[in-house]
Structure 1
Amino acid sequence: MSRYLFITILTLCGMLNSLSAWSADQAAATVRFRDAFGNPVQVAAPARRIVVINGDAVEILCAIGARDNIVGISSHTAKNPGPVGKMSDKTVVGPSTGPSIEKIIECRPDLVIAYEMWMSQKAFEAKLIPLGIPVARLFCYRIDHLDEEIRILGRLVGRQDQAEAYIAYKNRIIDTVKQKTGNLKPKIRVYNESYAPYKTVSDGCGADLLLDIAGLDNIAAGQSIPWPEATSEWLVEQNPDLIIKVASATFIKNGYGVDDVQAMDAFRNALITRPAWNRIKAVKSGRVHILASELWVGPRAPIGILYMAKWAYPEHFADMDPEAIHRQWLKKWHGRELKGIYVYP
Structure 2
Amino acid sequence: MRSIRLLLLSLAMSIVLPAYAALAAAVSITDDAGRTVEMAQPAQRIVLTDGMGLIGLAAVARNPVGLLAGWNKGRLDTDVLEAFRRDGPAIDAVPDIGELRSGSAAVEALIALRPDLVVLDPYYRSAVAIRQLEAAGIAVAVLALTPSVRDAEPAYGIKRLSMLIGREAEGQAFSDFVGARLERIRARLEGLGADDRPLVLLEAHAGRGACCLVAGAGQGIGDFVDFVGGRNLGADLVPGMAGQISAEYVLAADPAVYIGTGGAYMKAAGGLTVAPSFIASQARASLDAVLQRPGLAGTGVVSAGRAHGLWHGLAISGINIVAIEAMARWVHPERFADLDPAATLAEIDRRFLAVPLTGTMWVDLAPAGVEARP
Shorter-normalised TM-score: what interval? 0.7 to 0.9
Q: Could you tell me which amino acid in structure 2 is paired with residue 147 of structure 1?
A: A
SS at match of 2:237: coil
Partner of 1:206: 220
The alpha carbon displacement at 1:324 in A equals 2.1
- Which residue is 2:308 aligned to? 289
Q: CA deviation at 1:228?
A: 3.2
Distance in 2 of aligned mates of 1:103 and 1:224: 36
Residue aligning to 2:166: 158
Considering only CA atoms, is the larger Rg found in Structure 1 or Structure 2? 1
Q: Secondary structure at the match of 2:69?
A: strand
Q: Distance in 2 between matches of 1:336 and 1:69?
A: 14
1:189 aligns with 2:199: yes
Residues 152 and 224 of structure 1, relative CA distance in 2, 3 Å threshold? same
From the superposition, tell whether residues 276 and 152 of structure 1 become closer, same or farther in structure 2 (CA, over 3 Å): closer
Contact 1:111 1:133 in 2 (8 A): yes
> Which of the numbers 132, 137, 145 marks the counterpart of 1:140?
145
The match for 2:71 is 73
Aligned residue number for residue 90 of structure 2: 89
CA distance in structure 1 between the aligned counterparts of 2:31 and 2:344, rounded to whole angstroms: 33
Q: How does 1:13-162 map to 2 (within 5 A)?
A: 29-36=26-33, 40-66=36-62, 67=64, 68-76=66-74, 77=76, 79-81=78-80, 85-86=84-85, 88-90=89-91, 91-94=93-96, 96-98=98-100, 104-118=110-124, 120-122=126-128, 125=130, 128-143=133-148, 144-145=150-151, 147-162=155-170
1:240 Cα deviation (Å)? 0.6
Give the TM-score of the pair, scaled to structure 1: 0.80
The answer for the alignment partner of 1:267 in structure 2 is: 286
Q: Which runs of 5+ in 1 are unaligned?
A: 1-21
166-175 or 147-156: which moved more?
147-156
Q: What are the ranges of 5 or more consecutive residues in structure 2 without an aligned counterpart?
A: 1-19, 268-272, 365-374
Q: Which amino acid aligns with 1:139?
A: A
Q: Partners of 1:111 and 1:175 in 2: how far apart?
A: 32
Provide the C-alpha distance between the structure 2 equivalents of 1:335 and 1:134, rounded to a whole number of angstroms. 25
Assess, with a 3 A threshold, how the Cα gap between structure 1 residues 184 and 342 changes in structure 2: closer, same or farther: same
Question: Which deviates more, 310-319 or 96-105?
Answer: 96-105
Q: Which residue of 2 aligns with 1:301?
A: 320
Instruction: Read off the aligned partner of 1:231 and give its amino acid letter.
Output: S
Which is worse superposed, 272-281 or 159-168?
Answer: 272-281
Query: Which one of the candidate residues 226, 245, 251 is aligned to 1:236?
Result: 251
**Separation in 2, partners of 1:328, 1:334:** 9
Q: TM-score, normalised by structure 2?
A: 0.74
**1:161, distance to aligned residue in structure 2 (A):** 1.4
Aligned residues: 319
Deviations 1:286-306 (A, max 9, x none): 211111113212222111111
Say if 1:94 and 1:191 are closer, same or farther in 2 by CA, change over 3 A. same
How many angstroms does 1:150 deviate by? 2.0
For 2:264 and 2:40, how far apart are their aligned partners in 1?
A: 36
